[in-house]
Amino acid sequence: MAGVRQFDEREALSRALDVFTDRGFRATSMLDLATGTGVQRGSLYHAYGGKEEIFLRAFGAYTAAFLAGASAALDRPTKRAALLSFFDYCVQTFTAGTPAHGCLSTRTAIEAATESPRAESAVRALLDELETLVYTKLSTLDDGVESPVDLHAAARLVVSTTRGLAVMERVRYEPGELREIAETLVTSLFGR
């Protein structure tokens, strides 16, 4: 029957995400995706049109899952506790796997800037949504602690720091060291 997918799309995109996570956007080829997903290259081209579209669909699922995890991590009674939990979630995400797979969104931002404006835009959208999420969660917490900076600026600083932590993880900073950096920022924003 024409037009009927002969593979489980959700499973194929999940496996494609694993390939992009392992190899990065730039180094991943359609042959890598076919091997990693178990779906023939022709079927992938027919279903998605190419590597960029596969990435965008897989990254969409990644974004949704990452934001849901970040939101759950931020559900704490104080701003300090919320941010420490959020940073712990980010560090766990960056350091997962053996070897650690790093941060897909940061890696893609670096690699895709010249190769795929659509992938670059997808990363920017994730970071904008993450900033909005952090701001919204912090602004709803009434723990009596004020930041020396506006909460919008604080949220942007927090998200920017996650990108820095992702880069530092790539050059072998240990999870404990990354958490110490994050705690220093949280203390600067909301005290002890």
Range of the domain at 110: 60-190
Is 35 domain-assigned?
A: no
Is 3 domain-assigned?
A: no
**pLDDT tens digit sequence for 34-80:** 999 999 999 999 999 999 999 999 999 999 999 999 999 999 999 99
Q: Quick one: pLDDT at residue 161? A: 97
Per the confidence metrics, is the pTM higher than 0.85? yes
CA distances in angstroms from 37 to 130, 139, 184, listed in the order given: 29, 42, 41
CATH assignment of the domain containing 90: 1.10.357.10
CA 81 to chain CA centroid, Å, is: 21
Is 15 domain-assigned?
A: no
Is 140 domain-assigned?
A: yes
Asked if the model's pLDDT at residue 3 lies above 60, the reply is: no
Q: Quick one: pLDDT at residue 110? A: 87
* Average pLDDT value for residue range 159-165: 97
Is 159 domain-assigned?
A: yes
- Give the percent of the chain with pLDDT over 90: 80
Q: Quick one: pLDDT at residue 99? A: 77
Q: Quick one: pLDDT at residue 6? A: 76
Is 173 domain-assigned?
A: yes
Is 31 domain-assigned?
A: no
**pLDDT tens digit sequence for 74-127:** 999 999 999 999 999 999 999 987 778 888 899 898 888 778 999 999 999 999
Q: What is the total count of domains within the chain?
A: 1
Is 165 domain-assigned?
A: yes
